[in-house]
């Protein structure tokens, strides 16, 4: 059973009500602290914590948690933009924070996202777009056969958004997200997977152990659905080649960009610009990865909220690693 420490700065509006905490931490041991000093006292004690939740980008707290529990998972709830919380965390947020949850008003989605995130960690159950949409929502799935059929898939999703009367702008945004997700699954993931398998095989020139490094021969699956408030689009490939360090590198490029061209990774397997476009067009970006088995990338758009300028908007970013 996982032990969770929740440090709730009462001056922040983090929506960490008793009911929310109770629901989010079912199946775990949760300790809720109402100020930083008591939180640090808990971290300095002999207690073991698997997960830290805090609603302020406090360098001291997050650094202490990672220093003491190297394999622990940290969740930051914040209304700050990427560059703002990066500054507060001395530009090493990629090492201190595993999941960023945007603190929104009204709080409905913040509360829901916190519950989903913690329950995924507690249950070790990570994959599936359905987790983020209202129960019973129809989720459409399309098999990605090859590079040539990607445009027809993009257009199907675009037509779906128009059919739901969500507007032409959102339809174009959904089209662009699909395009980047498909390019990642069709082009980038196989190249990265090939590189990983070649690296693994190089340790055994006799070929022993190569079989377990071969991905399943399954085509990528693109999924999408709308539950009345959230439009979700996801892609799942069966290479499992996306690494957390690589993902963090792309986010750092986005955070500290001063020239859009610097977002482009010129190597064949580069996907930095693609992640920028997906994140720019959505409110939440989620990556679920099981190494060498599957990668799922999910983009969520709150259709009741305007997608504001990137630099002025907090976004949720999560990276889950399944074992």
DSSP state string for 46-69: S---SEEEESS--HHHHHHHHHH-
Residue 114 pLDDT greater than 90, yes or no: yes
Residue 105 pLDDT greater than 90, yes or no: no
Tens of pLDDT along 207-216? 444 444 444 5
Q: What's the pLDDT at 148? A: 72
Highest mean pLDDT pick, 105-109, 159-163, 268-272: 159-163
Q: What's the pLDDT at 257? A: 59
Structure tokens at 132: 């983020």
Least confident of 21-25, 113-117, 183-187: 183-187
Q: In the predicted model, what is the mean pLDDT of residues 236-261?
A: 78
Q: In the predicted model, what is the mean pLDDT of residues 251-257?
A: 75
Q: Tally Cβ neighbours within 10 Å of residue 253.
A: 17
Separation of CA 149 from chain center: 27
Place 269 in a pLDDT band, splitting at 50, 70 and 90. very low
Highest mean pLDDT pick, 193-197, 219-223, 304-308: 219-223
Separation of CA 267 from chain center: 23
Contact criterion met (CB below 8 Å) for 120 and 27: no
Which residues is 284 bridged to in the sheet? 300, 316
For residues 134 and 112, give the distance between their C-alpha atoms in angstroms, rounded to a whole number: 10
Q: How many CA atoms lie less than 13 Å away from 87 in the CB half-sphere?
A: 6
Q: In the predicted model, what is the mean pLDDT of residues 238-247?
A: 88
Q: What's the pLDDT at 206? A: 44
Tens of pLDDT along 158-195? 999 999 999 999 999 999 999 999 988 887 665 554 54
Which residue, among 147, 148, 159, 154, has the nearest Cα to 178 in the 3D structure?
A: 154
Residue 199 pLDDT greater than 60, yes or no: no
Q: What's the pLDDT at 16? A: 73
Q: What's the pLDDT at 31? A: 94
Residue 144 pLDDT greater than 90, yes or no: no
Q: Which stretches of 136-207 are DSSP H helices?
A: 150-163, 168-183, 189-201
Structure tokens at 87: 């500054």
Contact criterion met (CB below 8 Å) for 161 and 174: yes
Q: What's the pLDDT at 75? A: 97
Tens of pLDDT along 30-61? 999 988 999 999 999 999 999 999 999 999 99
255-282 burial: b if 16+ Cβ within 10 Å, else e = bebeeeeebebeeebbbbbbbbbbbbbb
Q: Is the peptide bond before 106 cis (omega within 30 degrees of 0)?
A: yes
Residue 145 pLDDT greater than 80, yes or no: no
| Terminal alpha carbon distance of the chain | 16
Q: What is the dihedral of CA 106, 112, 113, 118, to 10 degrees?
A: 140
Q: In the predicted model, what is the mean pLDDT of residues 277-300?
A: 93
Q: What is the dihedral of CA 26, 97, 275, 306, to 10 degrees?
A: 70
Q: Tally Cβ neighbours within 10 Å of residue 63.
A: 15
């Amino acid at each position: 059973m996982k032990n969770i420490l929740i440090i709730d700065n009462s001056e922040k509006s983090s929506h960490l009500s008793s009911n929310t905490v109770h629901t989010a931490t079912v199946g775990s041991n949760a300790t809720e602290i109402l100020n930083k000093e008591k939180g640090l006292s808990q971290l300095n004690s002999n207690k073991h914590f698997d997960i830290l939740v805090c609603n302020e980008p406090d360098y001291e707290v997050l650094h202490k948690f990672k220093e003491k529990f190297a394999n622990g998972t940290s969740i930051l709830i914040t209304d700050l933009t990427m560059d703002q919380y990066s500054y507060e965390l001395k530009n090493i947020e990629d090492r201190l924070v595993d999941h960023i949850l945007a603190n929104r008003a009204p709080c409905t989605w913040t509360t829901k996202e916190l519950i989903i995130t913690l329950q995924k960690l507690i249950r070790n159950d990570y994959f599936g777009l359905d987790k983020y949409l209202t129960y019973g929502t129809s989720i459409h799935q399309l098999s990605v056969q090859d590079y040539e059929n990607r445009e027809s898939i993009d257009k199907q999703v675009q037509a779906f958004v128009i059919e739901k009367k969500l507007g032409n702008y959102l339809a174009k945004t959904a089209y662009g997200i699909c395009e980047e997700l498909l390019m990642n699954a069709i082009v980038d993931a196989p190249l990265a997977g090939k590189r990983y398998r070649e690296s693994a095989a190089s340790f055994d020139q006799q070929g022993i152990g190569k079989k377990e490094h071969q991905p399943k021969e399954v085509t990528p699956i693109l999924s999408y659905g709308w539950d009345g408030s959230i439009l979700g689009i996801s892609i799942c490939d069966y290479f499992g080649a996306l690494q957390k360090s690589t993902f963090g590198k792309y986010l750092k490029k986005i955070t500290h960009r001063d020239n859009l061209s610097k977002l482009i990774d010129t190597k064949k397997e580069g996907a930095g610009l693609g992640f920028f476009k997906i994140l720019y067009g959505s409110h939440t970006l989620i990556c679920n990865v099981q190494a060498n088995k599957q990668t799922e990338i999910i983009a969520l758009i709150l259709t009741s909220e305007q997608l504001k300028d990137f630099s002025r908007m907090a976004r949720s970013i999560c990276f889950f690693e399944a074992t």
